[in-house]
Structure 1
Amino acid sequence: MARIKLTLAYDGTDFSGWQLQPRDRTVQGEVESCLARILGAKTRVHGSGRTDAGVHAVGQVAHFDCPDERADLPWLRALNATLPPDVRVVDATPVSGEFHARYSARSKTYEYVLWHEPGFCLPQRRRFVWACGPVDFSAMEAAAGVLLGEHDFATFQNVGTPVKSTVRTLTRLSRGPGASPQESVWRFEADGFLKQMVRNVMGCLVACGRGKLAPRDVRSLLSAGDRSAAPATAPPQGLTLIGPEYGWSDSCDNQDNNCP
């Protein structure tokens, strides 16, 4: 069998997340349906992570296996001709059979976009931002500094996905300019994320920016390990998965890999 790595972009607004669900529309379900039509058989697609309902992606990575004789199909063109318009394949590459979209990832990056103009949000942006209003950036950045590094992030994990450890290393949490003067973009990079961790951290930062929580209190929240002690989860539409990072040897560009 050959292994194909896909890079996907999607508008998550009308999806019930990435993960396959029996009665709801999901990104994984759409991709698997297309592959079944192309290959004539049910084919499982493995994603780098599970984005929630309403969350977007520009670099979600997935992989699937197919018969060796079908490996050379023009996968990007074939899938995009079949997929709905709110999900697209931006790259399709043969990889080593040792590559795994989830387990081979060394880190992952998300971006969260805030809209700060009080009273309105542009209709064109409402599906991709949290219209949180004015905030104190200095307070938010002070709180972000507390969260950087290795911590037990149990306080910022929602229930639903059991994990062996809630310790993660957040290597970047920084603010940048948005697509318009009314926006700010917050970039999160870590070796891994817990369920809704980015949205929970974002909710905490905005609470600090609104003066409802002091930045110095964030350390106590971390120590508490209690989700109920932290501010509410930020809404999903402001969040986009930028993508995972992999080691150079995970690609078929490395001549030492046994690629199809």
Structure 2
Amino acid sequence: MLTDATPAHAPADCVRLRLDLAYDGAGFSGWAAQPGLRTVEGELTQALETVLRVPVRLTVAGRTDAGVHAAAQCVHLDVPMAAWRAVPGRSGRRPQDALLTRLAGVLARQARLAADAGITGPVPRGASDLVVTGARVAPEGFDARFSALSRRYVYRVADGGPGGAPRSATRRGQVLWLPEELDVEAMDRSAQALLGEHDFLSYCRPRQGATTVRTLHRLQWRRPLDGPDAGLVMLSVVADAFCHSMVRSLVGAGLAVGRGSRGEDWPGALLRRRSRDGAAPVAPAHGLTLEEVVYPQDDALAEQARRSRVLRRPPTEDCGC
């Protein structure tokens, strides 16, 4: 799989495609392909190679952990022009329309095979837990990972408070159930110290050679009064990017404050410590959903990708000097 080595533009004989997708993370061992495991990347790559009949390498907006869901994930891939033109066959349809139809059938078949093998639970006929919702030729300079301005995740909790939402059996796979009442106001106040650009080492599982510096634009805990999430305790978090397990660690810190086991100043103190010793607890994956990936206007895609590739160092105000 291509990561940092992904070329900034498609080769001359290829077309770069943008795919938008959604998935239920319960049946996947995360995004990244792993031998012997069912992953989102592995399933999508297999389906694309079946339809396109060429090897495929994907670049994703953000790798999700095992069990995490996505309502609006984005990937790109470079496809030889001949393979792209061959997708409709003799149907006369646009390649992107034919690709969506054919992928839907292949992904449904793959999901049924996974269910028959006991890898996942039962799957309704013709359905899949991975859906490609959009396909189009990407504009010049588009990179699903590096061109993104921000990612937005939402974490949902059903707590035991008197104003809390009733337990919903149909959403049990997307909402964390807790028996105690959470102090949502304290959780939200504690989050304010984490906003801005910081080294989030205390909230990340670092990867070798990768930075843990991120810019957190929004970190808001609230309990909606209406709409489909009324009564739930929800965290909405927006950043330029997230490192491994960062969002679930932010959730874990907030829940510790909401339960009263930690004070409101603890998340900020933990951030300043910049250490894996006593790092933030990691909340369960199933309550987390990637809701949105934001990109700039087409004429700014390449410049945004160039800026995002620059390795960031910890800000001076966090260095302890």
Equivalent residue for 1:157?
204
Q: Tell me how far 1:251 sits from its aligned partner.
A: 9.4
Structure 2 gap ranges (5+)? 1-13, 86-93, 109-127, 302-321
2:106 paired with 1:82: yes
Equivalent residue for 2:218?
172
Equivalent residue for 1:30?
43
1:205-216 pair list within 5 angstroms = 205-216=254-265
| SS of 1:42 mapped into structure 2 | coil
2:110 paired with 1:110: no
Equivalent residue for 1:93?
136
Map Cα deviations across residues 172-207 of structure 1 (whole Å, 9 max, x no partner).
111342734441221110111111100001000000
2 CA distance for matches of 1:163 and 1:7? Answer: 29
2 CA distance for matches of 1:236 and 1:144? Answer: 20
2 CA distance for matches of 1:189 and 1:168? Answer: 11
Higher relative contact order (CA 8 A, sep 6+): 1
Q: Tell which deviates more after alignment, 242-251 or 100-109.
A: 242-251
Q: Tell me how far 1:132 sits from its aligned partner.
A: 2.6
Map Cα deviations across residues 7-64 of structure 1 (whole Å, 9 max, x no partner).
1000000100111111100111111111111111221121111101100001110011
1 CA distance for matches of 2:34 and 2:220? Answer: 34
* Sequence identity percentage: 38
Q: Tell me how far 1:121 sits from its aligned partner.
A: 3.6
Q: Tell me how far 1:149 sits from its aligned partner.
A: 1.4
Q: Under a length normalisation based on structure 2, what TM-score does the superposition of the two structures give?
A: 0.73
Equivalent residue for 1:184?
233
2 CA distance for matches of 1:16 and 1:154? Answer: 24
| SS of 1:229 mapped into structure 2 | coil
1 CA distance for matches of 2:137 and 2:276? Answer: 41
Counterpart of 1:170 in structure 2: which amino acid? L
2:194 paired with 1:147: yes
| SS of 1:81 mapped into structure 2 | helix
- State how many pairs are aligned: 251
Structure number, greater radius of gyration: 2
Identify the structure with the greater strand proportion.
Answer: 1
Structure 1 gap ranges (5+)? 253-260
1 CA distance for matches of 2:157 and 2:16? Answer: 38
State which of 23, 48, 51 in structure 1 corresponds to 2:64: 51
Query: RMSD of aligned C-alpha atoms?
Result: 2.1
| SS of 2:235 mapped into structure 1 | strand
